Amino acid sequence: MDVRRLKYFIVTAEERSISRAAERLHITQPPLTRHIQSLEEELGVLLFTRTSWGVELTQAGTALLKHAHNISAHIELATEQIRRVASGQAGRIDIGVFGSAMLNIIPKLLSAFSATHPDVRIVLHNTPKEKQINALQQGRILGAFDRYLPELPNIATVRVCREPLWVALHCDNPLSRQPRIGIDDLRKEPLIDEQDPSVSIACRELFTHHHFEPVVVQKAADLIAATIMVSGGFGSALLPESILNLRLPNVIYRPLVTDIDCMIDLHFAYRKDEESPLLDELLYCVRNYRHHATESEVANHPGEE
C-alpha cells in the first residue's frame, strides 16, 4: 500500500471520475486506472462501481475514503515532526547540572531555550560531578553545566559566565555592618570551604597571593550546603555572586574586594564528536546568552542599597 496510491484514490473519489482525477493529478487516465485496479486487487475489494459517466464509490470505497484521509494526515504530521526533531526544533535533551549551577543561569538559560524551542523536552540530571562526566562520555547526557572541569580529550567546554566572589556572613557577625569586605578582613575569620574544587581553587590562589592561611572550620559538599552552614552560624563563606539567588535566614551577602582579578567561571561541557542538532541549538543559545541577570539580583538583595 503506497501512500501515493492512497492520494490518487482520494482524488478519484472526490472527482467521481478517473479521467478528471488524472487531470488533477497531472498524469494520464490509463495509469490512474491501473493504480485503482491494483489498489482494489491488493485489498481484494471493489472500491468503485463503473458507470457510464464515471465511477462511484462502493460501501467499501466509502470506508476506505474515511480512513485514507486520516492515514494521509497522520503521515504528513509524522514527517513534519520528524523533520522538526532532525532540525533540533523538537525532541528530548538530557543535561547534567551540579549543585549551585542550579542557582545560576540554568533556569534562565533553559527557559530562554524552551521559549524558542517549545517542543524540546529538557530533562535535568542533578547528580555528583563524577557521575556526570561518566554520563557525558557515555552519551547518556548531551551536555553538562559545571564550574570546574578537568581537561578531557573528547570533551569541549564553553564558558557560560564569570562571576565575582561574594562573602556570606551571619547577621551577628560584625563584618556584616560593612558595605563590602576586604581580603584582610578575613585573616582571622573562620571560613567554610567546599569539597568541590570549583570555588576553592580560586580562593586558594587568592589566599596565597595575599600570603595567609585561611581558618577553615568546616567542609561543605557544595555551595548550597556551605550557605546553610553560614546560616547556622558556623562561619563565613566565599561564594560566587549567583548565590544571591539563595535566601536563607540570618545570612547576609557582601561583595568581596580584591587586588587581583578573581572570578568564578561556569562552563558548559559537551562531547566534541556529538552531532545532534539539538546540541547545536543549545550551544547557539549558550553562546548568545548574556548574564544580564546579576544586576537585578544584586538590587533585589535586601542587604544592599
Binding mask 39-58 for DNA (x = CB under 7 A): -----------x-xxxx---
Does residue 125 contact residue 97 with C-beta atoms inside 8 Å?
yes
Q: Interface with its own copies by CB under 8 A: which residues?
A: 1-4, 43-46, 58-60, 63-64, 67-68, 70-71, 74-75, 77-79, 81-83, 85-86, 90-92, 276, 278
Q: Which three cell numbers stand for residue 29?
A: 487516465
Which DSSP helix (H) or strand (E) runs through 112?
Answer: helix 106-116
Residue 58 interaction partner, one of DNA, its own copies, none, beta carbon < 5-8 Å per kind: its own copies
In degrees rounded to 5, what are phi and psi of residue 196? -65, 135
Residue 85 interaction partner, one of its own copies, DNA, none, beta carbon < 5-8 Å per kind: its own copies
Nearest to 205 by CA among 221, 222, 183, 189: 183
The smaller minimum CB distance to its own copies, of residues 3 and 299, is found at 3
The smaller minimum CB distance to its own copies, of residues 77 and 123, is found at 77
The smaller minimum CB distance to its own copies, of residues 77 and 221, is found at 77
Q: Which three cell numbers stand for residue 299?
A: 538590587
- What does the buried/exposed string (b/e) look like for 27-59 if buried means 16 or more CB atoms within 10 Å of the residue's CB? eeeeebbebbeebbeeeeeebbeeeeeebebee
In the complex, least distance from residue 4 CB atom to its own copies, rounded to whole angstroms: 8
In the complex, least distance from residue 125 CB atom to its own copies, rounded to whole angstroms: 17
In the complex, least distance from residue 46 CB atom to its own copies, rounded to whole angstroms: 7
Q: Which three cell numbers stand for residue 173?
A: 557577625
Binding of DNA at residue 138 (CB under 7 A)? no
Residue 112 interaction partner, one of its own copies, DNA, none, beta carbon < 5-8 Å per kind: none
Between the two ends of the chain, the Cα-to-Cα distance in Å is 73
Nearest to 114 by CA among 81, 89, 145, 149: 89
In the complex, least distance from residue 21 CB atom to DNA, rounded to whole angstroms: 7
Beta strands per DSSP E along 171-259: 181-182, 190-194, 215-220, 237-240, 251-257
Q: Which residues here bind DNA, judged by CB under 7 A?
A: 2, 4, 17-20, 26-31, 33-38, 50, 52-55
